[in-house]
Amino acid sequence: MTDAPVSIASDQLSATINPHGAELWALRDAQGRDLMTDADPRWWTGHAPLLFPFVGRSRGDVYRLDGRDYPMPQHGFARHSAFAAVERSGSAATFRLEADAASLAVYPFAFRLDMGFAIEGASLRMTATVSNRGDAVMPFSFGYHPAFAWPLPYGGGHEDHRIIFEKAEPAPIRRAGEEPGLIARETAASPVDGDTIVPRHAMFAGDALIWDDLNSRSLLWGVPGQPRLEIDFPDTPWLGLWQKPGAHYLCVEPWAGMADLVGFDGDVWEKQGIIALPPGESRAFRMDVSLVDV
């Protein structure tokens, strides 16, 4: 195991990963320009935490499994855990987190989480693989939480940036509810005009924008006519967009699962988007980030 940051690169991109949380700390182009958050502590010091074994907050920071309550921090414990670096080359690295005594006390399942990073040309390919190495069906959810630079370093201000979805997104969205960290049961009108959203800091005064009825599995982020980021997430059906209003980042968060709804008091198997993973099986979640000149 290593605590030192790990760097991988091609001739077009470079990435730095912190083994603590297997967190992507930096993504830069060939000229060394930052494509991710500046982690200004006035706003948020995170970069790209991994959300496991649950996405979002459980009501009261507790989840119920088969009649017993277990504590669980918002977004789970993986982001605060030390991963082992199990594979590494100049352009790829894989980090691993496995169940131990501490995790079993709050999440009684023999999981393995492998987080792979590989740079191919102008693309960073990330794959999280969750494996159930125990004898019981394992409930979990998983999400990505990367913070991309806003503005990107290619010209244009905050107000010139657009998210352009792969498809039109007319469905209503979810917003935060009156219980901190939980999701309102009622929906809100989509801020997307056709396939395009023009983000503004004020949109996030009420926390994240959340899509749980999403047509797209890909989007573009940046200023039209300038180099942009193409973000692909084929294995995660939901999406969150978030920032602290005024900060220099926008989090684009593909999720398989989400926080509890306001007032939820059911068992973990009743949580929105929970995945039931049989013993001996694995589930992979890919997210690709490509620098494109379109």
Residue 249 has pLDDT above 50, yes or no: yes
Q: Please state the three-class secondary structure of 84-119 as a single string.
A: EEEEECCCEEEEEEECCHHHHHHCCCCEEEEEEEEE
Spatial CA neighbour of 19 closest among 93, 72, 74, 90: 93
The reported pTM is 0.97
Tokens 């926008």 correspond to: 250
Residue 287, class by beta-carbon neighbours within 10 Å (0-12 exposed, 13-18 middle, 19+ buried)?
buried
Longest Cα pair distance anywhere in the chain, in angstroms? 55
Average pLDDT over residues 209-217: 98
Per-residue pLDDT at 294: 58
Interatomic CA distance for residues 238 and 258, integer angstroms? 8
Tokens 């940036």 correspond to: 161
Architecture of domain 6-288: Distorted Sandwich (2.70)
Q: What is the mean pLDDT of the chain?
A: 96
What's the chain's length in residues?
Answer: 294
Interatomic CA distance for residues 49 and 60, integer angstroms? 21
Tokens 């294995």 correspond to: 235
The pair of three-digit structure tokens given for residue 179, joined into one six-digit string: 């219980």
For the chain, the distance separating the N- and C-terminal CA atoms, rounded to the nearest angstrom, is 40
Percentage of the chain lying above the pLDDT 90 cut? 98
Q: Could you state, in order of their start, the residue ranges of all structural domains in the chain?
A: 6-288
Distance (Å) of CA 113 to CA 10, 143, 216: 25, 12, 26
Could you report the per-residue pLDDT of 80-111, keeping only the tens digit for each? 999 999 999 999 999 999 999 999 999 999 99
Interatomic CA distance for residues 193 and 261, integer angstroms? 27
